[in-house]
Chain A
Amino acid sequence: MSFAHLHAEGYIGLLRSMPNVEVIGFSDLDPTRGMKIAQQYSSHWYPSHETLLEQDLDAVIVCTENATRREAVEMAARAGCHILCEKPISVTLEDALAMRDAVTSSGVNFMTAFPMRFDPSLQILRERIQAGDLGRVYGMNGINHSEIPKAHRAWFADRELAGGGAVMDHTVHLTDLYRWIFDTEILEVYAEVSNPFYPDVDVDTAGIITLKLENGMFAGIDCSWSRPTTYPRWGHLKLEVVGERGSLEIDAFAQHLTVTSSKPVIRNPNWHGWGSDPNKAMLTEFFASITEAREPSVTWKDGFEALRVALTCYESAGIGQPVRLENL
């Protein structure tokens, strides 16, 4: 449902490579984009979600703008489709709760798209930490930097459609990883949030966040759109976990070739990734949860908790003090 989110372009190729998956087509309310994508990927474009959902589908992937996910999820749930939903799952808690109600009453699966849980290095990190390799963990610090995504999709920097900027876009991945690695919840949020990079957009472009976790640890997140658009790659995801026996560090996209060209290309050099695509493993889990009629390993609640943290960052920055999450 929709190619508003650029991840849709990655998903369509992966879906076609998977056995027992048939790609029926895609909906997009933007006819220009719909026709272009239809041609580019030789796929069938449906000009409305309704016409797509009439095609007797088993599942959908919701790749609309952040603010329009609720509507898409409610329609898909009513049509009895299992749902993989891009993150953040919505822009308000109210919308997120309505989505939960819709999928619960229809009895369909809802999986939040957190692909980094399926990254092999992060899975090893989680195993080693849970096995006690670091001893007692002191804390961790993560970076999810990128360039401003508006060159690919303008709505990412549109307050109405995205619900915010860098904080909305990038806080959720690391928040989810911290919750997942330690099987814990977030207790408190402190954030500096501002727009130092692009005065022409009306959303935040920088955020430095500190989380306190229920297990007594603390964790940093830099979610800033602080890489120039000429950077060798879109950005990166890095994470260091520090404990009494030293540290373990992740550079999730370190598997790349450095390509330098004398042709006029935007990224020069260009870091060309060659590592495993965690999105493929994520899609495999989504379909497995359907065929095995069980809950997916990443749930609505995971998407909801990450969204809560992102929203609380704005609240903390507004008052200049840490904010405790309500015990729901």
Chain B
Amino acid sequence: MRVGIVGTGSMGSVHAQAWLQAGVELSGVISGHLEHAQTFAQKHEIQAFSRLEEMLEVVDVLDICAPTHLHRDMTEAAAKAGKHVICEKPIALTLKDSKAMIEVCSSQNVRLFIAQVVRFFPQYRAAQEILASGQLGNLGVLRLKRAGYQPSLNWFLDETKSGGMVMDLMIHDFDYALWIGGKVSRVYATSARASNPTSSGDYALVTLGFESGAMAQIEGGWCYPKGTFRTSLDIAGSQGLIEWHSDNSSTIKSFLEPQNSGVGAVGIPSSVLTEDPYTTQIKHFKHAITTNTPFDVTPEDALAALEIALAARESLKSGRAVHLGSSR
């Protein structure tokens, strides 16, 4: 399997490491800035390309770690060249773009995988399995939190490129909520940016009402000091409960004299694990492609998560709850 990466930012580097762990050699890299691609290429001993079409000639898989507004064009280019696609979340900024991506991959007979990586985090997967096993009874109230610091890269802050915090960050938990809670009928959202467009950071609460009668509160933020990233889940069922918080699961803690340590441009949750979840995800992709078996996360799942994110943004704008699949 020959893989070309688009994007040399945080996710590009994380994916490159994951491909290495999965025993796949990268074939090339491309970036919006040629010098970034060259530095990245040098580090990973691969070739830097200046045009996507050239790179597509020498790979089997295109790994898109580029800003969200570029996902559609790149996916279409790859699909038309007959290459499989693995693409960072969210799938795209609009339902139209997402559906076009799904259609082109389907008509060109290539596979499309959206990297909703939270499903590969062991604590999230284990919680899903425990709920699915029935030992908690039926889902009642789901609480999910994901809050870090504001990315220092400009495209994240440009809503026309990233969709903003609610779309870029909270999409992870929207996907997880749909995975374990099923269909959603109502979405209501409030955020710091919606209350005050000049707000320097962002912080949001999104309430979901599931068709089952269960409910979820999803909390997201680019609101903490640099270097802080906190996640938690709380799954309350009619016969049991799962609680987990990143504050309380460090297997190694350090209490050292403070020194200037580098902080990544984008916050990424971390656990000390033998295999990091990004590698688990890449290995899953590789396995599904080589054995021609289904992905654990389908593009339709990613599309459903995007629908929730778009409904949340609509609610932020209108101040009303958005009722999905009804005229209410």
List residues of A whose CB falls within 8 A of some B CB. Answer: 136, 138-139, 141, 143, 190, 192, 194, 196-199, 205-206, 208, 210, 212, 216-218, 220, 222, 224, 226-228, 231, 242-247, 320-322
Indicate the size class of the contact surface on chain B: 35 or more
- Asked whether any CB of chain A lies closer than 8 Å to the CB of B278, the reply is no
- Asked whether any CB of chain A lies closer than 8 Å to the CB of B241, the reply is yes
Contact assessment for B241 and A220 in the assembled complex, using a CB-CB cutoff below 8 Å: no
Question: What residues on A are CB-neighbors of B213 within 8 Å?
Answer: 194, 196
Question: What residues on B are CB-neighbors of A194 within 8 Å?
Answer: 213-215
A selection of 20 A-B contacts at a CB cut-off of 8 Å is A138-B201, A138-B202, A139-B191, A139-B192, A141-B217, A192-B207, A196-B213, A197-B238, A206-B140, A206-B215, A216-B196, A218-B195, A224-B236, A231-B241, A242-B203, A320-B186, A320-B321, A320-B323, A322-B188, A322-B319
- Asked whether any CB of chain A lies closer than 8 Å to the CB of B141, the reply is yes
Contact assessment for B190 and A208 in the assembled complex, using a CB-CB cutoff below 8 Å: no
Contact assessment for B225 and A190 in the assembled complex, using a CB-CB cutoff below 8 Å: no
Nearest CB of A to B255, in Å: 20
Q: Which of A199, A208, A227, A243 contacts B241 (CB 8 A)?
A: A227
Contact assessment for A138 and B217 in the assembled complex, using a CB-CB cutoff below 8 Å: no
Chain B, residues 219-233, CB within 8 Å of chain A (1/0): the string is 101011100100000
Given A246-B225, A320-B323, A322-B319: A208 and B195 interface contact (C-beta under 8 Å): no
In the complex, given contacts A199-B238, A247-B224, what are 11 additional A-B residue pairs having Cβ atoms less than 8 angstroms apart? A136-B196, A138-B192, A139-B195, A206-B215, A210-B207, A212-B190, A220-B217, A226-B241, A242-B221, A244-B199, A322-B319
Contact assessment for A139 and B199 in the assembled complex, using a CB-CB cutoff below 8 Å: no
Nearest CB of A to B39, in Å: 33
Contact assessment for B224 and A139 in the assembled complex, using a CB-CB cutoff below 8 Å: no
Nearest CB of B to A287, in Å: 39
- Asked whether any CB of chain A lies closer than 8 Å to the CB of B260, the reply is no
Q: Which of B196, B241, B323 contacts A228 (CB 8 A)?
A: B241
Instruction: Name the CB-closest residue of B to A135.
Output: B200
Nearest CB of B to A174, in Å: 13
List residues of B whose CB falls within 8 A of some A CB. Answer: 138-141, 143, 147, 186, 188, 190-192, 195-196, 199-203, 205, 207-209, 212-217, 219, 221, 223-225, 228, 236, 238-241, 319-321, 323, 328
Per the bound structure, the CA–CA distance linking A222 and B140 in Å amounts to 12
Per the bound structure, the CA–CA distance linking A115 and B199 in Å amounts to 34
Contact assessment for A217 and B195 in the assembled complex, using a CB-CB cutoff below 8 Å: yes
Contact assessment for A210 and B205 in the assembled complex, using a CB-CB cutoff below 8 Å: yes
Given A141-B219, A192-B186, A196-B213: A222 and B141 interface contact (C-beta under 8 Å): yes
Contact assessment for A192 and B238 in the assembled complex, using a CB-CB cutoff below 8 Å: no
Per the bound structure, the CA–CA distance linking A228 and B217 in Å amounts to 19
Q: Which of B190, B209, B323 contacts A139 (CB 8 A)?
A: B190
Contact assessment for B203 and A192 in the assembled complex, using a CB-CB cutoff below 8 Å: no
Contact assessment for B203 and A208 in the assembled complex, using a CB-CB cutoff below 8 Å: no
Contact assessment for B139 and A196 in the assembled complex, using a CB-CB cutoff below 8 Å: yes
Nearest CB of B to A79, in Å: 43
Please provide the 7 A-B residue pairs with the shortest distance between their CB atoms, ordered closest to farther.
A196-B140, A226-B236, A138-B192, A218-B190, A192-B215, A138-B203, A220-B205
Contact assessment for B238 and A222 in the assembled complex, using a CB-CB cutoff below 8 Å: no
Q: Which of B138, B199, B219, B240 contacts A196 (CB 8 A)?
A: B138
Contact assessment for A226 and B192 in the assembled complex, using a CB-CB cutoff below 8 Å: no
Question: What residues on B are CB-neighbors of A210 within 8 Å?
Answer: 188, 190, 205, 207
Per the bound structure, the CA–CA distance linking A216 and B186 in Å amounts to 24
Question: What residues on A are CB-neighbors of B141 within 8 Å?
Answer: 196, 206, 208, 222, 224, 226
Instruction: Name the CB-closest residue of A to B228.
Output: A246
Instruction: Name the CB-closest residue of A to B145.
Output: A141
Per the bound structure, the CA–CA distance linking A222 and B143 in Å amounts to 9
Question: What residues on A are CB-neighbors of B221 within 8 Å?
Answer: 138, 242
Instruction: Name the CB-closest residue of B to A139.
Output: B203
Question: What residues on A are CB-neighbors of B320 within 8 Å?
Answer: 321-322
Contact assessment for A242 and B215 in the assembled complex, using a CB-CB cutoff below 8 Å: no
Contact assessment for B224 and A190 in the assembled complex, using a CB-CB cutoff below 8 Å: no
Question: What residues on A are CB-neighbors of B241 within 8 Å?
Answer: 226-228, 231
Question: What residues on A are CB-neighbors of B239 within 8 Å?
Answer: 228
Per the bound structure, the CA–CA distance linking A199 and B139 in Å amounts to 13
Contact assessment for A138 and B223 in the assembled complex, using a CB-CB cutoff below 8 Å: yes
Nearest CB of A to B142, in Å: 9
Q: Which of B140, B209, B224 contacts A205 (CB 8 A)?
A: B140
Question: What residues on B are CB-neighbors of A222 within 8 Å?
Answer: 141, 143, 217
Nearest CB of A to B229, in Å: 13
Contact assessment for A226 and B140 in the assembled complex, using a CB-CB cutoff below 8 Å: yes
Contact assessment for A198 and B225 in the assembled complex, using a CB-CB cutoff below 8 Å: no
Instruction: Name the CB-closest residue of A to B205.
Output: A220
Question: What residues on A are CB-neighbors of B192 within 8 Å?
Answer: 138-139, 242
Question: What residues on A are CB-neighbors of B323 within 8 Å?
Answer: 320
Question: What residues on B are CB-neighbors of A322 within 8 Å?
Answer: 188, 319-321
Per the bound structure, the CA–CA distance linking A220 and B200 in Å amounts to 21
Question: What residues on B are CB-neighbors of A208 within 8 Å?
Answer: 141, 207, 215-217
Per the bound structure, the CA–CA distance linking A126 and B321 in Å amounts to 31
Per the bound structure, the CA–CA distance linking A181 and B186 in Å amounts to 31
Question: What residues on A are CB-neighbors of B225 within 8 Å?
Answer: 245-246
Instruction: Name the CB-closest residue of B to A220.
Output: B205
Question: What residues on B are CB-neighbors of A227 within 8 Å?
Answer: 236, 241
Contact assessment for A197 and B223 in the assembled complex, using a CB-CB cutoff below 8 Å: no
Per the bound structure, the CA–CA distance linking A320 and B207 in Å amounts to 11
Per the bound structure, the CA–CA distance linking A216 and B143 in Å amounts to 24
Contact assessment for B188 and A197 in the assembled complex, using a CB-CB cutoff below 8 Å: no
Question: What residues on A are CB-neighbors of B140 within 8 Å?
Answer: 196-197, 205-206, 224, 226
Per the bound structure, the CA–CA distance linking A139 and B147 in Å amounts to 13
Question: What residues on B are CB-neighbors of A198 within 8 Å?
Answer: 238
Contact assessment for B321 and A247 in the assembled complex, using a CB-CB cutoff below 8 Å: no
Instruction: Name the CB-closest residue of B to A137.
Output: B192
Contact assessment for B321 and A190 in the assembled complex, using a CB-CB cutoff below 8 Å: yes
Question: What residues on A are CB-neighbors of B217 within 8 Å?
Answer: 141, 208, 220, 222
Instruction: Name the CB-closest residue of B to A246.
Output: B225
